[in-house]
Chains A and B, each alone.
Chain A
């Protein structure tokens, strides 16, 4: 049986279960004076032509009995219906507790709707999940991110993922996404799922806020690469923005794969519809990327330019030789931008010539420079540390020491928006704890990123 057949069966079951109470609805609407006794001829009317004769009779009976009761009760009649939109209409207790029945009970008095704005959500507690982060190296995992940016849940997105999910979940819950990803990558590496031969990780972030998704994706990509490099693997992180379209979700449903992998595969199916989907599904991300290269897939993983060639392009643009380039990011990465109208593959490089820092997006298909950031003057590490120390002292904080964040200092975070500016990070040590401060090289502003109390620091 096909996996999605249960859906059709469920749909059918609910349709069978649904009662045909239209007569009741109609009579209630008539009683309220919304539906007149005269018929409007529509195809639906003609389906049961004689029924309205009965209804008309019933309506007369209602009116007569209503008149009698109305006389008895000093013409106590229903107030006119309110013209409030239904989504913000609440009916009174009497109304909801009065079961509407056909004509026999039509003379019952019911109160009219009162207008309220419903603010309640569904009754059970819902963790506020702001984003889902999909990690796929064949074991597929989904990290759910709570509002406070900690991991609220981890789930396997495919069968291979199930073998790892418990171990990774126990490590990840309550941690920041980057820590959780770092730990997950370490475990996957330990188990051999990430290796020198299989070193491409597919990363996708689904969030309501697209800007936030890009931000999370950038930061998560870094965390994964960092963790991989700690384990001696200098691989790639292929990131893509995904939309949970029907096609994507159907593929996810049918083959129990991650949303990111499904998006990837759909690109390939579009390129060659004859290629068996099952075979694509069974491939690792590395194999899929290799297939993209082999097929020279236009518009997605069309990688004709190697990382080395991209670096040469960047160096030539800066005006120095490759040998003089300082790679600010130890390993260049391929960034896949897969918005509906911009499915391109880019090499993303951060290079420096000793004095200035430059960021490049180089089209992996054509070698064209898509975006350049910089030059930004490299800050003096010691000077920045000194400056932050002075600022914190002025703010009344007793600073016992400070240091730049070693390897992190080398990394210049660049967002994809034009407004992003490079920062470097400094740690300030006090008796109370450790402050991690980000210093914006361009504006000179400092931002407190984190404060770790002494107890935790110890």
Chain B
């Protein structure tokens, strides 16, 4: 292993250990740890929930439920440097439960939820990107893109999280990427 990759590897390990430590401390009632954990992972959790549910309010619910669940139900979590995977698994489970119970697969009309993502802070290009990501990609493509691009998940991690073969993840990613690239050349 060369110097650069070993440094990167160490950084990655440290960050994983940090997340582990924060999660453990949060379960022990450390609000500071819970806040840091929230700051670190809430964009990823929210992005994945929004990509899965295509509903802003539901995604917010999942974001809240996820961190409450992490704080209240993770006493048995064994720190193995996999806090990120653990958090996304919780998110995925919450999304699936919501979809199952409400019997809807984010088929809300676009005009109902699209204005809710129109933020002033976003540039027109970013708004267009979001719109494209949320409306043109199919459910799996969207999840894979968000997990890889927004959450920084590796393909193998995505495959494990979504219970899909690696090949499917790759092909979904390629397709999604192609669609996005064609639209935003």
Q: Pick from B35, B93, B117, B126: contact of A22, CB below 8 A.
A: B35
Chain B residues in 8 Å Cβ range of A320: none
A262 to B29, CA, bound (A): 48
Q: In chain A, what residue has the closest Cβ to B23?
A: A86
Q: Which of B72, B130, B184 has the most CB of A within 10 A?
A: B72
A209 to B178, CA, bound (A): 27
Nearest Cβ in chain B — how far from A128, in angstroms? 7
A131 to B25, CA, bound (A): 41
A113 to B170, CA, bound (A): 35
Determine the main DSSP class of A at the interface with B. mixed
A90 within 8 A of B: yes
Nearest Cβ in chain A — how far from B48, in angstroms? 9
Given A14-B50, A16-B122, A118-B97, check contact A99 B61 (CB 8 Å). yes
| Cβ B129 vs Cβ A9 within 8 A | yes
| Cβ A25 vs Cβ B64 within 8 A | yes
Query: Chain A: how many interface residues by the 8 Å CB criterion?
Result: 82
Nearest Cβ in chain A — how far from B78, in angstroms? 9
Given A10-B150, A14-B150, A83-B76, check contact A153 B171 (CB 8 Å). yes
A11 within 8 A of B: yes
Chain A residues in 8 Å Cβ range of B181: 3, 6, 256
Given A34-B72, A84-B76, A87-B90, check contact A18 B47 (CB 8 Å). yes
Determine the main DSSP class of B at the interface with A. helix
Given A14-B46, A14-B50, A86-B73, check contact A126 B64 (CB 8 Å). no
B11 within 8 A of A: no
B166 within 8 A of A: yes
A124 to B61, CA, bound (A): 22
Q: Which of A17, A32, A145, A246 has the most CB of B within 10 A?
A: A17
Of residues 61 to 88 in A, which have CB atoms within 8 Å of B's CB atoms? 81-88
B114 within 8 A of A: no
Given A39-B32, A99-B61, A130-B165, check contact A87 B155 (CB 8 Å). no
Of residues 1 to 46 in A, which have CB atoms within 8 Å of B's CB atoms? 1, 3, 6-7, 9-22, 24-26, 28-29, 32, 34-36, 39-45
| Cβ B167 vs Cβ A121 within 8 A | no
Chain A residues in 8 Å Cβ range of B108: none
| Cβ A26 vs Cβ B73 within 8 A | no
A259 to B163, CA, bound (A): 22
Nearest Cβ in chain A — how far from B72, in angstroms? 5
A144 within 8 A of B: yes
B13 within 8 A of A: no
B19 within 8 A of A: no
A96 within 8 A of B: yes
A26 to B30, CA, bound (A): 11
| Cβ A16 vs Cβ B32 within 8 A | no
A208 within 8 A of B: yes
Q: In chain A, what residue has the closest Cβ to B49?
A: A18
Chain A residues in 8 Å Cβ range of B138: 124
Nearest Cβ in chain A — how far from B58, in angstroms? 9
| Cβ A40 vs Cβ B46 within 8 A | no
A131 to B168, CA, bound (A): 8
Q: Which of B36, B90, B149, B175 has the most CB of A within 10 A?
A: B149
Chain A residues in 8 Å Cβ range of B30: 35, 40, 42
Given A14-B46, A15-B43, check contact A40 B31 (CB 8 Å). yes
| Cβ A29 vs Cβ B170 within 8 A | no
Nearest Cβ in chain A — how far from B40, in angstroms? 10
A253 to B155, CA, bound (A): 14
Q: Pick from A21, A44, A120: contact of B60, CB below 8 A.
A: A21
A207 within 8 A of B: yes
Given A14-B43, A86-B70, A121-B162, check contact A21 B33 (CB 8 Å). no
Q: In chain A, what residue has the closest Cβ to B183?
A: A6
Shortest 3 CB-CB contacts between residues of A and residues of B: A42-B32, A14-B47, A18-B46
* Residues of A bordering B, CB below 8 Å: 1, 3, 6-7, 9-22, 24-26, 28-29, 32, 34-36, 39-45, 47, 52, 81-91, 93, 95-96, 99-100, 113, 118, 120-124, 126-132, 142, 144-145, 153, 155, 157, 206-208, 244, 246, 249, 252-253, 256, 259
A-B contact pairs, 7 of them (CB 8 A): A13-B130, A26-B31, A43-B32, A44-B39, A86-B74, A91-B97, A246-B154
